[in-house]
Every structure is written in structure tokens, then in C-alpha cells.
Amino acid sequence: MRDLQIELVKIQRQAIAHGHRILVIFEGRDAAGKDGVIKRITEHLSPRETRVVALGKPSDRDTRSWYFQRYTPHLPADGEIVLFNRSWYNRAGVERVMGFASDDQVEAFYDNVGAFEKMLVGDGIQILKYYL
């Protein structure tokens, strides 16, 4: 594990030096180990250039806004690594299963998620996705 953490620090230094924007998404069932994995990843990284985002239940304003809007303020800036503990994929998973999103909302999500992520990548954000 130590060797991997050293490599992560090297990756972060490169990201900072070259202005890379890295977004890491963790999805998975409850108790799958997302928190533990994120803790181990961030353990030796600089907290100035690393953020962990774990959004709670959407506010009333969030539910009336463009679905992806609540996530955009948390996207990485130049030289930053952001780790999402769950993400917009909640719409296709938890929200669908628990009845928090209608069939039309889920269908709209499927129609738009590819374009949203393509826009992020086109703007220079590197996206890494993990399902635990």
C-alpha cells in the first residue's frame, strides 16, 4: 500500500505542476467501502489540492434546477483532485430504486449524462469512475 500511496503523491504533484483537473467518482452500494477507499487515497495527499465531495439529500432548490447543476460547483479547478463519494449516477441507481426520480427523469438522465461528461472532458477534466 505504501508504494501505491507514493505513486498517488507523484500523480498529485504532476497534476499541480501541469494544471491537470482530476475527478474521481466512487459509486457502490451502502457499506461497499467507498469511505475507506477515499480515506486511504487522500491520506498522504495535499489537502490544499484535494477535496472530497459527499452531497446530502437534494434541497428544494436542487430538485427544481437542472439535475447536474448541484454537482458543477464541486468540479476540480486547475491542479486539483476531487473525489466524489457518490455522484450524478445516483439518478440511475438510488433515486430510481427508491422512487425519488420518475421514469421520465431517469430517462432524461440517460439521455444527457454522456453529453454532460463529454463536456467536462472537453474542458480538460479527467474523469475516473469506480464502482465498489
**The domain that contains 116 carries what CATH number?**
3.40.50.300
Q: How confident is the model at residue 77 (pLDDT cuts 50, 70, 90)?
A: very high
pLDDT tens, position by position, 89-104: 999 988 888 888 999 9
Mean pLDDT of all residues in 23-50? 95
Residue 109 in this model has a pLDDT that exceeds 90: yes
Q: What is the pTM of this model?
A: 0.93
Q: How many domains does the chain have?
A: 1
Q: What is the pLDDT of residue 57?
A: 86
**Helices (runs of H) and strands (runs of E) counted in the chain:** 5, 4
Domain holding 113, by residue range, is 2-131
Distance linking the first and last C-alpha atoms of the chain:
18
Distances from the Cα of 33 to the Cα of 1, 60, 72, 82, 99, angstroms? 16, 29, 25, 18, 24
